[in-house]
Amino acid sequence: MSDAIKHECGIALLRLKKPLEFYKEKYGSSFYAIQKMYLLMEKQHNRGQDGAGLASIKLDMEPGERYISRVRSNKTSPIQDIFSQINGRINEELEARPELVNDVAAQKADLPYVGEVYLGHVRYGTFGKNNIESVHPFLRQNNWMHRNLIVAGNFNLTNVKELFADLIRLGQHPKEMADTVTVMEKIGHFLDDEVTDLYFDCKNEGLSKREASPIIGERLDIGRILKRASKNWDGGFAMAGMIGHGDAFVLRDPAGIRPAFHYEDDEIVVVASERPVIQTAFNVPLESIKELNPGEAVIIKKNGNVSFEQILDPLEKKSCSFERIYFSRGNDASIYKERKALGRLMMPYILDEIQGDTQNTVFSYIPNTAETSFFGMIEGAQDYLNEKKIAAILANQGELSAEKLSEILSTTIRTEKITIKDAKLRTFITDDSSRDDMVEHVYDVTYGVVKPTDTLVVIDDSIVRGTTLKKSIIKMLDRLNPKKIMVVSSAPQIRYPDCYGIDMAKMETLIAFTASLELLKDRNMYHIVDEVYAKCKAQENLHDAEVINHVKEIYAPFTDQEISDKISVMLRPDTVKADVKIVFQTVENLHQACPDNLGDWYFTGNYPTHGGNRVVNRAFMNFYEGKDARAY
């Protein structure tokens, strides 16, 4: 994606099912789990590079012995930083006490992070919040072991204000109105409730307080707690948690918006945001890794029993298609095929634009993440060229010489590595012209491969704001002196903000939205903007289930092609000599390429939860009122 956007988060939950001595004997180290957690988190660094955190729990520790450890970092390379801290602590202890090296029981008792249950998290700092307090996992502490709660998630809730108000009605005093804090306190409240009820049950059975403690842990109903806590959550989430005595869980949202995959054998249980991460870390086959169902929780009890429980009634599955287009790592088998399909499906539009003239067309991609869709695009171009060759051979079969056949077969698709991203350049002068000049030089180009008669086709994952295209990429490509520059987006036009975890919250930053506004002005239809604002304002106090997305009316007067043409004009810098054309994927083709991930609200405005409609209307009202604020 040429436009950098902050997005997503990554989670990794690992539970060892055997005693630590088993891993020492089989794998040569009692630090097996720490090493695997490093892999699980590092292989998901694409999901968050602003902060990382890890928490661990030791099972069956005696009173007075530390059983929870947590480390967080918001430094540059935070994953490496937290594991450097962990390794530093462990190595210091081992150097000071060499007798610990082969004593697994002593290691567990005396070394931090050596335990059986682990929760890791990587994140991007959205909305300017990247202080250490915002880094997961979050910890809710208590002297009762099973009232300690650790939470981390890949999520965003649309109704944090309402959930915050619920906590106040329950008599709590949350320290801030943040979605993670709100979620943790909501779960924590019902955890406290459950523990209290179980304590009185034990008391009625004649058990002492000390005798009751392990019984409470055994009887704790995690599914019931999650059902009560998540009852009114609206949003996309893969919420992971650990309870002090050793229970753990991951809950997925009922529309399956955010991803979660799990694997279990007789040694481990693992849950992560991406499937190939588990494949790589544990060298297990793809088919053995399962997707957590929408609204379902995987619950791992302290005794190692694993169960799956339907916590929330599933909605129509609308898994985030941006995961397939861009966010998730492309080494997942199905994602790789889907990205190639996205590129291949663009070929009819490209061929129409170049009028079938592949001889005078150079194909490339930008940025590197678009490489897989580029392969698909080229396969489509090759299929077209093969059809032309077959037609030419059949047309000349009566008088086909070796020279003529060689001429026909020698025609190829012209592909080049046109752009190379340079080292990160910085400007130390703050005026806009200096900054823009530096942005223009973020990429280098390959000279000498494009002719003045050529059309240069470059494919991108998606186009959000178009800022990098206008200020850098198109100017840079124009230096090669092509006749025409064609930028192909493997994703459809992004028209609506996201409210489920991607940092696309403001309408005015979306090039498709601003292009539509310009079209309304051009055609003397800008009154529609005022009418949409009035309709949004009238719904401001309605219940979410009653709210309609009226922002769709901004786009309704225009075809996709008209908006694309306007975007092409708006993103063409005045100094560029070549013609510029921007071509977008269709929503229909997106669904054809990614049939199991149909979440498309940022393209269509069809939000999978009621809160989405309220958020998009609020985002539009913020734009209209000139408010620089998030809509949720």
Length of the chain counted residue by residue: 632
Does residue 427 surpass a pLDDT of 50? no
Residue 575 in contact with residue 477, Cβ under 8 Å? Answer: no
* Three-class DSSP category at 616: helix
Across the range 318-333, mean pLDDT stands at 90
Residues 6+ apart with CB under 8 A from 591: 598, 600
Tell me 469's DSSP state. I
Across the range 85-111, mean pLDDT stands at 94
Residue 394 in contact with residue 401, Cβ under 8 Å? Answer: no
Helices 560-570, 511-522: inter-axial angle, 10-degree rounding: 100
* Three-class DSSP category at 402: helix
* Residue 433: pLDDT band with limits 50, 70, 90: low
Q: Tokens for 51?
A: 């902060």
The rounded distance, in Å, linking the Cα atoms of 112 and 68 is 8
Residue 499 CB neighbours (<10 A): 30
Selection from 217, 82, 256, 237 nearest residue 152 by Cα: 237
Residue 29 in contact with residue 87, Cβ under 8 Å? Answer: no
Residues 6+ apart with CB under 8 A from 559: none
The pLDDT of residue 173 is 64
DSSP string, 6-49: -B-EEEEEEEE-S-HHHHHHHHS-TTHHHHHHHHHHHTTGGG-S
Residue 624 in contact with residue 533, Cβ under 8 Å? Answer: yes
Tokens 């198109």, residue located: 474
- Beta bridge partners, 420, equal 444
Give residue-wise pLDDT tens across range 293-322: 999 999 999 999 999 999 999 999 999 999
- Environment class of 319 (CB within 10 Å of its CB; exposed 0-12, middle 13-18, buried 19+): buried
Tell me 518's DSSP state. H
The rounded distance, in Å, linking the Cα atoms of 342 and 321 is 12
Residue 149 in contact with residue 241, Cβ under 8 Å? Answer: yes
The pLDDT of residue 438 is 56
Q: Tokens for 415?
A: 């592909």
The pLDDT of residue 297 is 98
Tell me 91's DSSP state. H
Rg (CA), the chain: 28
Selection from 4, 35, 5, 30 nearest residue 18 by Cα: 30
The pLDDT of residue 178 is 67
Q: What is the 3-state secondary structure (H, E, C) of 410-436?
A: CCCCEECCCEEECCCCCCCCCCHHHHH
The rounded distance, in Å, linking the Cα atoms of 542 and 545 is 8
Residues 6+ apart with CB under 8 A from 469: 2, 3, 460, 463, 487, 571, 582
Average the pLDDT over each of 33-42, 199-208, 385-394, 597-606 and give the range with the smallest value. 385-394
Measured CA distances, 93 to 88, 416, 597 (Å): 9, 54, 48
Helix (H) or strand (E) holding 376: helix 371-395
Does residue 28 surpass a pLDDT of 70? yes
Q: Tokens for 610?
A: 């009621």
* Residue 162: pLDDT band with limits 50, 70, 90: confident
State the amino acid at position 165 in one-letter form. Answer: A
The rounded distance, in Å, linking the Cα atoms of 272 and 319 is 16
The rounded distance, in Å, linking the Cα atoms of 443 and 461 is 17
Residue 501 in contact with residue 236, Cβ under 8 Å? Answer: yes
Average the pLDDT over each of 172-181, 268-277, 450-459, 582-591 and give the range with the smallest value. 172-181
The rounded distance, in Å, linking the Cα atoms of 196 and 203 is 11
State the amino acid at position 392 in one-letter form. Answer: A
Helices assigned H by DSSP within 220-346? 222-229, 275-282, 322, 333-344
Selection from 285, 294, 229 nearest residue 259 by Cα: 294
Backbone angles phi, psi at 335, to 5 degrees: -65, -40
Does residue 437 surpass a pLDDT of 90? no
Taken in order 183, 186, 192, 195, the sign of the CA dihedral is: negative
The pLDDT of residue 398 is 77
Selection from 84, 62, 60, 59 nearest residue 71 by Cα: 84
The gap from C-alpha 66 to its chain's centroid, in whole angstroms, comes to 34
Tokens 């801030």, residue located: 176
Answer with the residue of higher pLDDT: 329 or 291: 291
Mean pLDDT of the chain: 91
Q: Tokens for 455?
A: 């059309």
Kindly report the pTM of this predicted structure: 0.92
Residues 6+ apart with CB under 8 A from 158: 234, 235, 499, 500, 544, 609, 611, 612, 614, 615, 632
Selection from 281, 256, 257, 259 nearest residue 268 by Cα: 281
Residue 292 in contact with residue 257, Cβ under 8 Å? Answer: no
The rounded distance, in Å, linking the Cα atoms of 568 and 487 is 9
Residue 242 in contact with residue 112, Cβ under 8 Å? Answer: no
Give residue-wise pLDDT tens across range 565-617: 999 999 999 999 999 999 999 999 999 999 999 999 999 999 999 999 999 99
Across the range 488-503, mean pLDDT stands at 92
Does residue 180 surpass a pLDDT of 80? no
The gap from C-alpha 518 to its chain's centroid, in whole angstroms, comes to 31
